[in-house]
Amino acid sequence: MAALINGKEIAQRVRESVRAETEDFKARTGVTPGLAVILVGDDPASKIYVGNKKKACIEAGFNSFEHILPASTTQEELIRLVERLNADPSVHGILCQLPLPKHLSSRDVIAAISPKKDVDAFHPQNVGKIMIGDYDFLPCTPAGVMELIHSAGISVEGKRCTVVGRSDIVGKPMAMLLLHENGTVTVCHSRTKNLAEECRSADILVAAVGKAKLITGDMIKEGAVVIDVGMNRDENGKLCGDVDFATAEPKASYITPVPGGVGPMTVAMLMKNTLTAAKLFAGEEK
């Protein structure tokens, strides 16, 4: 039977430490960290995520600035808002909630965000810095996964790590962070020939696909660490991961549940990045 890695508890600890550090930082510098979140359109899931981020900001002692724009917003209007936020000294972090409506280019919007305020770490400059291991921010979800792995006392060094999914925001940076910690990393995707075999070779398996219960127990090595990033709805509309928990759990040594695993870590790491951005703004070390 696997030990559960409790993301809810670990995220709460991270948020509490950010809150305490923020209190000191504000007293020391007179600067209140500020996070601006841009939401375009009315995607219901995005609205929930933005609401959670606002709540977390308030709890951390940050200023939270919400910019809710209609789905008809043009690229020029969105870029103009980003430029205004780039120049605003009370804003230290800027986040544009994805996905954007189809007529807008998320790539161009991300590139317009000042790299110093890019608390999602999606800007090409920050992506490059992560690649060479010299960065101010890490993307929140992969950073949250590493925090879960560390909290469970698991060492990545020398382990075979398989990441399923190669998106720019989860899979690719995830693979890079495992590589930085000396894992031997395989990245799988939709064209991978034998996914089951690639997964079965993993000591640490990270699933970031977006397909409910794609990874089943027979694809998991006895004693593997299984991290499930996926957030899907099952046939009954219940939230579930990319891993079939019921068959995977008896094989794994550690496993993250969905909900309550990686999900809460993403917001916690966003708070950490926003505090880092404010510290750098105030001329402090991160």
Q: Which residues are catalytic?
A: 53, 97, 120
Cα(47)–Cα(65) distance, integer angstroms: 14
- Cβ-contact 96, 111 below 8 angstroms: no
Total interface residues for ligand NDP by CB under 6 A: 26
Residue 161: CA count within 13 A, CB half-sphere: 27
Nearer to ligand NDP, 40 or 215 (CB): 215
Nearer to ligand NDP, 81 or 208 (CB): 208
Would you list the DSSP string of 191-254?
T-S-HHHHHHT-SEEEE-S--TT-B-GGGS-TT-EEEE---EE-TTS-EE-SB-HHHHTTT-SE
Q: Kindly state the tokens that stand for 273.
A: 């990045």
DSSP state of 284: -
Shortest spacing between CB 90 and ligand NDP, in angstroms: 27
Shortest spacing between CB 207 and ligand NDP, in angstroms: 8
Shortest spacing between CB 80 and ligand NDP, in angstroms: 27
Residue in 75, 232, 247, 253 binding ligand NDP, rule: CB under 6 A: 232
- Contact call for residue 130 and ligand NDP (CB under 6 A): no
Site of tokens 């990245």: 187
Shortest spacing between CB 283 and ligand NDP, in angstroms: 32
User: Among residue numbers 135 through 194, which ones bind ligand NDP (CB under 6 A)?
Assistant: 141, 164-167, 169-171, 188-192
Point out which residues bind ligand NDP (CB under 6 A). 141, 164-167, 169-171, 188-192, 195, 208-211, 214, 229-232, 262-263, 266
